[in-house]
Structure 1
Amino acid sequence: MTFKELYVIDPILKALEAKEYSEPTPIQLESIPVLLQGKDILGSAQTGTGKTAAFAIPILQNLHFEKVNDPSNRNIKALVLAPTRELALQIHDNFKEYGRNIRLRTTVIYGGVPQSKQVRILQNGVDILVATPGRLLDLIQQRKLTLAHVTYLVLDEADRMLDMGFVKDVRKIVAMVKKERQTMFFSATMPQAIVTLSNEMLHKPVRIMVTPEEEMIDKIKQSIYYVGKKKKIDLLVDLLKKKDLKSVLVFSRTKHGANKIVKLLDQLDIASAAIHGNKSQSARQKALNSFKQKKTRVLVATDIAARGIDVDELSHVINYDLPEVPETYIHRIGRTGRAGLGGVAISFCSHDEIDLLKDIQKHIQMQITVKTDSVYAIEPSALPIESKSKSNQRNSNQSNKSKNNKSYSRKRARNKKVTPKNYSKYDNKNRSRNR
């Protein structure tokens, strides 16, 4: 089936042809007709399957017809919420590209940069606003914009929105939007928390789930290296000697870890860059553009910052650190299998990650191929396995230690006859000292 058969109008069809979109992806095929009918939707699809076009095309088309009837109206009619700056910018770019032949104004707002330019654009009037929750609420509180006229609301990457603690902000924002609206939830994964939230905010939504995880996983060549924790960087460098690793996205669990990897790679003249929450917006965008343009061979990212990284022809994904949530593993490796294509995903597993690997393999219902073609790889039997029971015991010991410290602080406070009025300040001081 073609986009024309989905009743997409000619101006948008021409824009899609310019991007060489020949036929709809499964998520677009199922979503576009539903959204053109004005129904709410709860959509689930893996990364790279075309979710943005699935909601952008109907919004552009519906607003185009509304604009014909009221050309002078410059109130915000469509709002798209995204969890990260990178994703917000990507969505904004896609709206601009799909709507290049339509007279609709689109803009994007996000934190980490001065707001003055964003405010000027808003004052000139926009039809479609893409935003991150924090900056959006800031500007609303400053009365720089209103959501009173929004009739199309999209939550993209809703699962990550919840993971990042935006649920209260999202509820505040939704309360400011008209009740008579069309609401769209799109998410890579569909945990119960998303279903619960959708029940609050969607009206009789159509549930759409495409590209099953098993099908996507089968198309990606997966492998695992068992390696000592301190030898991970040596293994990474050893793998990067292979010429077929042309464009590599490396996942680190922490911001500090990402910086450390890049520092060591730079010392070996391997072009790399880090992207994470502590980086300024300009630095993150510069790193991402350099990676897309193939000037940088390796991009090291944390999970939160990686949302919104849309890179064609990404040859490899390397899980330098295994994710703590099995669903995140699927989202990570899907970046090398864009739009259902194959890819290569390599993971490192040290002794303290054995249980994480077991959880991942249980979730994807398959054993990942073990590789030993590196001098830094070791046999699984050589790893000192740390079981969950030991891990739980360690956490329990830490908890008891914390309780003992707290009890000790209170005992000292009583001995020194600290008054109730000043007690909390004294106790906090001791807690900080114990850390």
Structure 2
Amino acid sequence: MLQKAIADSGYTMATPIQAKAIPLVLEGRDVMGAAQTGTGKTAAFSLPLLQKMLKHETSSVSPARHPVRALVLAPTRELADQVANNIKAYAKHSKLRVAVVFGGVDMKPQTLELKQGVEVLIATPGRLLDHIEAKNCVLNQVEYVVLDEADRMLDIGFLPDLQRILSYLPKARQTLLFSATFSGEIKKLAESYLQNPVLVEVARPNATASTVEQRFYSVSTDDKRQAVVKVLADRGIKQAIVFVNSKLGCARLARSLERDGLKTNALHGDKSQDERLKALASFKAGETDVLVCTDVAARGLDIADLPCVINFDVPFNAEDYVHRIGRTGRAGASGVAITLVTKDDSRLVGDIEKLIKKKLELEPLELDTSRPRFEPREGRPDRSERGSRRGWDDGPAPARAYSPPKAPPRDPFFDKPYEPSSAAEPAWEQKAAVPAGRVSPNIKPKRKVAALFSAKKAD
């Protein structure tokens, strides 16, 4: 059954990480797998686990006959969804049930699926804890645990959540840890939760794929957006992922590239999960030219035949550079990774050089004064036809004949100089006349008080 699913997926030969890890997993050993991103780590741990769980498959509809036996933890929602899709494809000819839970969406459909019973559960740590606290899933029969991209989970503060989740699991289990990079913290985590793990490394740690052409261009901050448009136009690149460091910069750049004629989508943490999944699906379907995203999309996402990755901002963490450019040049395909470097990025570039142990050469990038502009897609009107507002990057406005506004007619009385009247008394010397029988409102009348004795009569 698994062989048929593998053939349906188009696999003909095992990758190095798969060839080394699969036999160890089948033997029941705990494994720490390190390999370049895009080399098939998901299949390396999922295929042997599914093979071992085939003995438990049943056609019973009772949820009790389908307990969670394998738990896969992933750091991001997109990665969890992708891993789930891959495992579902591998298990489609078996009776094993596969489910995925992650945040940003309603819990009710997930709860309904969990209560029907699943053998393989893929989850992000936060949402899994929500289901555990709501008693929607029980993990006391878990036999296999996979920590996928564990270094990323530690980077974004999931260590306390990991420790809580692992405390719910049986101690007698097989634990697998797969990642593209291994830091000292990851090795400490492995010492705490893995038993005599076997380290599997098929490439130098933190190495970049040889199929990816890496170019570094020196530009100013104000010219970055124009540099992205020029690179895409000059190289004839139809699709690219552009990475930025901030959510606000991600949204702004997406709007600017849209005005340049590119079909663009933004992907960052402030978007709802439904918007993020739709943006990713649109890009994979070829309906989007450029996907501008933060590092939420830097880990594990598999986009077939992606030709180019552009680092609009140099990443703060050098290891994120390895993951970013790993979105292209996957499964032996060729790709290009372009990084735009300003004069303030010298320290960050130095960190990347130390990590990948390679000297990076900065190249100048000549920008044309006439900015390259992409033709709009068929059926999509140009900005001039849509009548949209002019933006700061739309070029100079057409010249118009200037005519000064006509001044309103003036009253000559107001142009005369002041001439005081000799007969008139100054206003400050004039005394206000008080009409007879009336008292000024500013003068309060004396209060009349009754006397005990009558007034003394004059002699």
Alpha-carbon distance in 2 for matches of 1:68, 1:144: 21
Aligned pair partner of 1:311 in 303, 306, 331: 303
User: Residues 104-150 of structure 1, C-alpha deviation per residue, up to 9 Å, x if partnerless?
Assistant: 00000011001000000111111110000111101111111111111
The offset of 1:213, in angstroms, is 5.3
The aligned residue for residue 145 of structure 2 is: 153
The aligned residue for residue 134 of structure 1 is: 126
The aligned residue for residue 91 of structure 1 is: 83
TM-score (norm 2): 0.77
Answer yes or no: is the 8 Å Cα contact 2:240–2:309 preserved in 1: yes
The offset of 1:273, in angstroms, is 0.8
The aligned residue for residue 108 of structure 1 is: 100
Gap change, CA 1:343 and 1:213, over 3 Å in 2: farther
Which amino acid in 1 is paired with 2:42?
Answer: T
Gap change, CA 1:26 and 1:71, over 3 Å in 2: farther
Which amino acid in 2 is paired with 1:188?
Answer: A
Which amino acid in 1 is paired with 2:36?
Answer: Q
The offset of 1:278, in angstroms, is 0.8
Answer yes or no: is the 8 Å Cα contact 2:59–2:95 preserved in 1: no
Alpha-carbon distance in 1 for matches of 2:234, 2:354: 31
The aligned residue for residue 6 of structure 2 is: 16
Alpha-carbon distance in 2 for matches of 1:155, 1:215: 21
Alpha-carbon distance in 2 for matches of 1:43, 1:61: 19
Answer yes or no: is the 8 Å Cα contact 2:219–2:365 preserved in 1: no
Which amino acid in 1 is paired with 2:147?
Answer: L
Alpha-carbon distance in 2 for matches of 1:314, 1:355: 29
The aligned residue for residue 289 of structure 1 is: 281
Runs (5+) with no aligned partner, structure 2: 370-459
The aligned residue for residue 44 of structure 1 is: 34
The offset of 1:373, in angstroms, is 4.3
Alpha-carbon distance in 2 for matches of 1:244, 1:213: 33
Which secondary structure does the structure 1 equivalent of 2:367 belong to?
coil
Which amino acid in 1 is paired with 2:286?
Answer: K
Answer yes or no: is the 8 Å Cα contact 2:58–2:96 preserved in 1: no
* 1:358 is aligned to 2:350: yes
The offset of 1:326, in angstroms, is 1.7
Q: What RMSD, in angstroms, separates the aligned Cα atoms of the two structures?
A: 1.9
Within 5 A, what are the aligned runs for 1:258-277?
258-277=250-269
Alpha-carbon distance in 2 for matches of 1:277, 1:214: 26
Alpha-carbon distance in 1 for matches of 2:326, 2:266: 20
Alpha-carbon distance in 1 for matches of 2:50, 2:230: 48
Deviates more, 1:283-292 or 1:66-75: 66-75
Alpha-carbon distance in 2 for matches of 1:134, 1:284: 18
* 1:201 is aligned to 2:200: no
Answer yes or no: is the 8 Å Cα contact 2:99–2:118 preserved in 1: yes
Alpha-carbon distance in 2 for matches of 1:226, 1:216: 21
Alpha-carbon distance in 2 for matches of 1:82, 1:341: 25
The offset of 1:152, in angstroms, is 0.6
What fraction of aligned residue pairs are identical, expressed as a percent? 43
Gap change, CA 1:125 and 1:180, over 3 Å in 2: same
Gap change, CA 1:363 and 1:283, over 3 Å in 2: same
The aligned residue for residue 338 of structure 1 is: 330
TM-score (norm 1): 0.81
User: Residues 250-308 of structure 1, C-alpha deviation per residue, up to 9 Å, x if partnerless?
Assistant: 11011111111101011122111111111111111111111111110111111133324
Q: Which one has a larger percent helix, Structure 1 or Structure 2?
A: 1
Aligned residues: 367
The offset of 1:351, in angstroms, is 1.5
The offset of 1:371, in angstroms, is 2.9
Which amino acid in 2 is paired with 1:56?
Answer: S
The aligned residue for residue 430 of structure 1 is: none
Answer yes or no: is the 8 Å Cα contact 1:213–1:330 preserved in 2: no
Runs (5+) with no aligned partner, structure 1: 1-10, 378-435
